[in-house]
Amino acid sequence: MPNQDGFPTASEVVAHMNARFEAHGLECRVRHVNVLPYVNPMWLANWDILQLDGTIDPELLESELREARWAFPQVVEDHW
């Protein structure tokens, strides 16, 4: 659910990514999204998922991240 500024939260990205991985039959799960402390003025994604590096097929990971960054380009931390 978007916060008061209209941005989705990091937990929404986590839920989205975990649903996508589950749909692919993968056992890896996202626990945390690293959110930059500002909204990116170039409207590039202001978040990343570092704990997945090297854990699944790189092409699949890149494809899923690309789709998620399109769906959630700007997010805020959950405590906002």
Tens of pLDDT, residue by residue over 47-75, are: 988 877 677 888 998 899 999 999 998 89
Per-residue CA distances from 60 to 24, 29, 56, 65, 75 (Å): 9, 14, 7, 9, 22
With 70 as the cut, is the pLDDT of residue 46 above it?
yes
Mean pLDDT of 34-45: 76
With 90 as the cut, is the pLDDT of residue 22 above it?
yes
Coil/strand/helix, residue 78: coil
